[in-house]
Structure 1
Amino acid sequence: MARPNHFRDVIRIGPVRVGSRSDVRGRQKHTAACTAPRCGFSADYDSRAAAELAARTHTCTTN
């Protein structure tokens, strides 16, 4: 049975939310996900700085 995602240190940068979590092997993962309708951007990163950079430079492709 998969563990539910429990995000910590969630921040919002524009429409993108960045949060930290532990994966099933106990490693830290950082996720950036856009909350704009019909955007669909989300990605996992190994460092928090990379996730925040992705959030700052993200531009939604939806009109």
Structure 2
Amino acid sequence: MPVPNRYRRTIRIGPVQVGTYYDRHGTARHTAACTAPGCGFSADYRDRSAAELAARTHHCKP
């Protein structure tokens, strides 16, 4: 059974949440995920700035 991700440094930019976690190899990864109902957008990035840019430019089309 996989271990659940424990996010830290979470922020919200519009409907998108950005958080940092450590993957199974111990490297820091950053996730941007839209919380709007029916959207389904989420992506992992190596850089925090890339995740924040994706959150700022995301447009929901549910």
Q: Which residue of the partner structure matches residue 19 of structure 1?
A: 19
Alignment coverage as a number of residue pairs: 62
Report the alpha carbon displacement of residue 2 of structure 1 after superposing the two structures with TM: 1.5
CA distance in structure 2 between the aligned counterparts of 1:5 and 1:43, rounded to whole angstroms? 14
Q: Which residue of the partner structure matches residue 53 of structure 2?
A: 53
**1:9-63 deviation digits (Å, cap 9, x = unpaired):** 000000000000000000110000000000000000000000000000000012x
| Runs of 4+ in structure 1 over 4 Å off | none
CA distance in structure 1 between the aligned counterparts of 2:61 and 2:4, rounded to whole angstroms? 29
Q: Which residue of the partner structure matches residue 29 of structure 1?
A: 29
Q: Secondary structure at the match of 1:39?
A: coil
CA distance in structure 1 between the aligned counterparts of 2:2 and 2:24, rounded to whole angstroms? 8
- TM score, norm. by length of structure 1: 0.95
CA distance in structure 1 between the aligned counterparts of 2:29 and 2:49, rounded to whole angstroms? 11
> Which residues of structure 2 form unaligned runs of 5+?
none
